[in-house]
A and B are shown apart, each in its own frame.
Chain A
Amino acid sequence: MNPVPAFSAKTRRIITCIGAAVLVVSVTLYLALPVVALFFRTTPELFFSSLTTPDVISALVLSLFTSAVSLGIVILVGTPFAYVHCRNEYPGKVIVDTLIDLPLVLPPAVAGVALLVLWGRVGILGQYLSLFGISIAFTTLAVIMAQIFVASPFYLRQAKSLFEQLDPAYELTARTLGASPLRIFALITLPLTANGLVSGAVMTFGRALGEVGATIMFAGNLPGVTQTMPLAVYVGMEGNFVVGITISILLVIISFAIMIAVRLLARHEVSHA
């Protein structure tokens, strides 16, 4: 029986290279083309003129403000929380771990509904706040709460992993040298994890900036109050297409800046060896 003729080694290498190139190019194009297409749907003149319209400015200012406040709260509360969580064993730790990750897999709209059910005017807790004239839903505060709920896992997961991976010998040595826990955290733990924490913070800011589902459910879509950039894109696409495209391009630019910042920070990670 004649053996089946095999490809030569050189032919096999060429076929492998072509296959790999097709794979890389098709994935890259699939991801890049829609983003690039945005830039072809406007002109610099149109882009810059619509950039100064009140709707765009108000959405931009609101988005940057709420995302910055959300990030500040996540860092201030999340950093000590992640540290305490990593350094201690307590009952239900596994459940807390799961809850931290939950918003990552929960559909944002569901997160928004959940927030509304809890904090809405007739919500489980919201009804008591209403007695004091406090209303959270459909306010700027609701935007911030929705952003924190959806975006905080990006920071918490990163902080947890950094604290867990840090060689315990650094903190233990500092203890034997007489340093207090606060001093150890401020002078050893934080500086050694700072780059990673900042890249987690940048990702959190990006996620908060792009948040739509939870915001629209819990905070609504009120221009100047709760209409963030992604919501303004949604409204723009239904009416003023140019405004929608302009804000989309703005968001693409900010997202790119965020990714570049994260990559630069990852490259400058302090060696813990």
Chain B
Amino acid sequence: MLEATMNKKLRDFSLDLSLRAGPGEIVVLMGENGAGKSTTLNMISGLVSPDAGSIRLDSAVLFDSGTGTDVPAENRRIGYVFQKSAVFPHISVRDNIAFGLRAQHTSPAFIREHVGHWLKMMSIEDIADVKAGNLSGGQKQRVALARALATKPALLMLDEPFTALDAENIRLVKELARTLVTEMAIPCLVVTHRISDCRDVGDRVCVISQGKKVWEGKPEHVPA
């Protein structure tokens, strides 16, 4: 369960948001460019500190301005897929997926087995040893998703995961996100600016404008 209340003064406006996402629930943050959606994800992940507020993930307090708690990004157990996937282009698909596990000093035997599992899950076994820089957009997105989930995060965040993908890959990535979040029973935040994405993957939608939540509800009721 994610519970976050964040306040941050940005250049053009003040971001003031409260968010909640339950296990297996996909909450879509929708809004125009520059509304504060990506900044929200960056604050939850620990890459940017809010000016005030609190962020709780399951029983852990990740940020609390009252007590001065601010857990570093590397210790937050959050799987974060950036815009354009950001797979590491100079290493193989296998090494991309293993990156987080190695950073956490997991045993080589476990890493081998676990990476094999994710390669199979994402149907990318045939490209396991290909350098990630040589992959197509859809393949990169699947690698990024596997890499983010391989470390068993307590929260998954996807920033504009469907841009620059063709229709077939959009459908595939949406299905994967839906299935995996449900199976792993973790909350998931998806940032998008397209209503179709909200309806396809969202359980709940928050429309954000100028750093404020201006609408919240079921995907089928999102105002056009």
Task: Name B126-167 residues within 8 Å CB distance of A.
Answer: 133, 144, 147-148, 151
Contact in complex: B82, A177 (CB < 8 Å): no
**A271 — which chain B residues lie within 8 A by C-beta?**
89, 133
A176-B74 CB under 8 A given contacts A169-B83, A170-B86, A270-B90: yes
Q: A-facing mask of B93-132, CB < 8 A → 1, else 0? A: 0000001100110000000000000000000000000000
Q: Which residues of B contact A187 (CB under 8 A)?
A: 99
Asked if A174 CB lies within 8 Å of chain B CBs, one says yes
- Give the contact stretch, choosing among A122-130, A144-152, A178-186: A178-186
Instruction: Decide if B74 touches A270 in the complex (CB within 8 Å).
Output: no
Contact A176 B47, beta carbon cutoff 8 Å: yes
Q: Are A173 and B86 in contact (CB under 8 A)?
A: yes
Please state if B86 and A177 are interface contacts (CB–CB under 8 Å). Answer: no
> Could you say which residues of chain A place their CB within 8 Å of the CB of B83?
169
Query: Contacts A270-B133, A271-B133: A178 and B100 contacting too (C-beta < 8 A)?
Result: yes
**Which single member of A176, A178, A272 contacts B89 (CB below 8 Å)?**
A272
How far apart are the CA atoms of A188 and B147 in the complex, in Å?
15
Let me know if A167 and B100 touch, CB within 8 A: no
Complex contact B103–A183 (CB within 8 A): yes
| CA–CA, A46 and B103, complex, Å | 60
Q: B residues 72-95 with Cβ under 8 Å of A?
A: 73-76, 78-80, 82-84, 86, 88-91
Offer 9 A-B interface pairs, CB within 8 angstroms, sorted by A.
Answer: A170-B88, A172-B82, A173-B144, A174-B103, A175-B73, A176-B47, A177-B103, A270-B133, A273-B89
Q: Taking the nearest CB of chain A, how far is it from the CB of B86, in angstroms?
A: 4
Do the beta carbons of B78 and A167 come within 8 Å of each other? no
Query: Which of chain B's residues have a CB closer than 8 A to the CB of A177?
Result: 74, 99-100, 103, 147-148, 151
| Contact for B99 among A172, A179, A191, A270, CB less than 8 A | A179
For residue A217, CB closer than 8 A to chain B, the reply is no
Residues on B with C-beta less than 8 A from A231 are none
Complex Cα–Cα for A191 and B148 (A): 21
Q: How far is the CB of A185 from chain B (nearest CB, A)?
A: 13
Say whether A169 contacts B86, CB under 8 Å: yes
- What A residues does B80 contact at CB under 8 A? 172-173, 176
A28 to chain B, nearest CB (A): 37
Residue of B nearest to A270 (CB): B90
With known contacts A178-B100, A191-B90, A270-B89, A169–B74 Cβ distance under 8 A: no
- Bound together, the chains give a CA A172 to CA B89 distance in angstroms of 15
**A179→B83 CA distance, assembly (Å):** 20
A170 to B83, CA, bound (A): 11
B45 within 8 Å of A (CB atoms): yes
The reply to whether B76 and A176 form a contact with Cβ atoms under 8 Å apart is yes
Residue of A nearest to B134 (CB): A271
At the interface, yes or no: A115 with Cβ under 8 Å from chain B?
no
Is A192 close to B, CB under 8 A? yes
Contacts of A178 in B (CB 8 A): 74-75, 100, 103-104, 151
